[in-house]
Every structure is written in structure tokens, then in C-alpha cells.
Structure 1
């Protein structure tokens, strides 16, 4: 009987060679069409991974310094993260660690205007009025028709923070739509 070790070594070596040959190869998907990395996108396809004609959203412009100060007791400068077709902003006071965080998801992150399915590992779903839900202190909701958005006020005040976040949703929706 022969040892399986030589066969195993050949399989392992073959896998490593295949992986080395494929390094740097790949595809991206644009409008349902696979495009090899480095190849030009088909005519009329959006570039940069976002939706055609969309731009980053300046979420830090949604609230004035006075509004932020009322929520978290100070008005630190907002720190933005811009996406091709969405964005986030976080205002955080380094003295007390209180913060306000707003996230506007990219187009089609809330398909058909519906929140994603609840993850049961988070415990029972905590529904809020007007199609919103509490996800560990952050309020998830749909805005702009098909964007998954969230807002969180964090001042260690429990339900008061959730209520404050819920109160901000209409303003966020007015900035993004729906």
C-alpha cells in the first residue's frame, strides 16, 4: 500500500500554483455584467461602483452646530465618510464620549423600500413607529425610497437616546428624500 502523502503534496502544490496564477485576476460586476479587472466597463455603465449620476452625500451638512450641541452637549466638528452614492457623519465629543452618528446608505440598500431581514442573533426585533427599528440603540429606517439609513444619539441615556434619534429621522428624510 502506498502512502497518501505524495498524492496530497501534488494536490497541495497544484492548488498553490493555481492560486499564484490567479493572483491579481478577478472580475467586478456592473449592472449584472461581469467585467475583468482592468477592463473598461461597457458603454453607459456607471463607474466607481455607485449608481449612474449619483454623488456622495454630505451628511455632515444635515445638522447645525447648535442642533448637535443640543443633542450631545457640545458641537465638535463632524467626521465624514463619503461613499460613491451615500455617506456618514459622526460628531463625537472626546471629553465625554457622547456622539451623534448618521449613515445614509447607498441606493438599493433597502430594496423595495424595505429594511433588511432582522438578524435573530440580535434578540427580538424592536420595531419603532413609521417603519423604523431599534438596533442596539441606533435607529434604522429607509430614506430616499431605497436607502438603508441609521441615526444614533449616544449619551448613555438609554431610551432617551433612542427617542432623540427617532426625532431626527424626519429631518434626515427631508435631506435625502422619502
Structure 2
């Protein structure tokens, strides 16, 4: 996986994968139910994209696996032949408390559509509710597939 995702200053929370259950469609409810019966704040990044949404971007892949990086839940899909990948990072509640992404000191980003901030290495940083999130699309050397990242952000925002 690319180290650019881990190196970006998105969220200071530890990168511990959250729990979630995959259904036969490759995606389940992103938020679970807590032991007390209320809505849980945990989101499993690996349940947010379906195989038919990732495969056209990177080709054959490992189906998404929890990985390290910045955020409460980080998942990466990688093509073992080309090393093309998609990585999703979901920050914890309150990491984008205003519902907007603000640049950290020393972080260089470019504005994109719908409040998206583009970092180097194909990373699109965005708010989903009150969570600071990222998606990274790597489809070649030095590739920066912003249009694909914007499409994925639209899908992810609806599911987070």
C-alpha cells in the first residue's frame, strides 16, 4: 500500500480497524448496533465499497483488507499484479466537527469539488458528516486519478 495515506495529517486517532459484517453483496451496514441497543459509531471501511465498484478501477484485487494508516478504520484493495490500489480511511466522530475539512499546518492541498481537498499521491480528503475521511486511488506511477476519487467520495459519503 502507498505510504502517502499514512503520512498525511488527517486524524490523530490510532489506526485500529473497526468491526463490521460483510454480507454476500460485499457490503453491509457501515454502522453497527452497540450492546446497549443504540447506534454504534464504529465504521468498517472494508464494507463501504462493493467489489464491482473497485474492480473496474484497479482490476483483480484482494477484496479489501484492513490496513494501517490514519483513521479509525482503514481498508485497502490492491491488485497483486499491478500494485494499483484503492484505500479508504474513515476518521472518528468529531474529527471534522464542522462538517468541513481544514488544512493542518504544513499540509499542502488543493481545493476540489464539494469540499474535497486533494493531497499528493492520489489522495482526496473529505468530510462525511462529522468525520474526516480520505480515499486514495493509485493506478500508475505518479498517477493522480482525481475524477475516480471524486466518484468514490460520492459513494462513500452516502455510506458513512
Q: TM-score range by the shorter chain?
A: 0.5 to 0.7
Q: Contact (CA 8 Å) 2:65, 2:75: kept in 1 or not?
A: yes
Q: Quote the residue 1:140 is aligned against.
A: 125
Q: Quote the residue 2:80 is aligned against.
A: 94
Structure 1: runs of 5 or more not aligned: 1-51
TM-score, with length taken from structure 2? 0.66
Q: Contact (CA 8 Å) 1:55, 1:86: kept in 2 or not?
A: no
Q: Name the one with the larger helix percent.
A: 1
Deviations 1:84-142 (A, max 9, x none): x94121011222110000111100111211213344453xx310011111011200000
- The separation in 2 between residues aligned to 1:89 and 1:169, in whole angstroms, is 14
Q: Contact (CA 8 Å) 2:75, 2:89: kept in 1 or not?
A: yes
- SS of corresponding position for 2:152: helix
Q: CA RMSD in A?
A: 2.3
Q: Contact (CA 8 Å) 2:87, 2:135: kept in 1 or not?
A: yes
Identify which of 60, 70, 94 aligns with 1:108.
Answer: 94
Identify which of 61, 64, 68 aligns with 1:75.
Answer: 61
- SS of corresponding position for 1:109: coil
| Structure with greater contact order relative to length (CA < 8 Å, sep ≥ 6) | 2
Q: Quote the residue 1:63 is aligned against.
A: 49
Residue correspondences, number? 119
Deviations 1:54-81 (A, max 9, x none): 3431221222222211010113221125
Larger deviation, residues 110-119 vs 88-97: 110-119
Q: CA deviation at 1:53?
A: 5.6
- Shift in CA distance, 56/113, structure 1 to aligned 2, threshold 3 Å: same
Structure 2: runs of 5 or more not aligned: 1-37
- The separation in 2 between residues aligned to 1:65 and 1:121, in whole angstroms, is 32
- SS of corresponding position for 1:113: coil
Alignment of 1:137-176 (within 5 A): 137-143=122-128, 145-156=129-140, 158-159=143-144, 161-176=145-160
- Shift in CA distance, 118/86, structure 1 to aligned 2, threshold 3 Å: closer
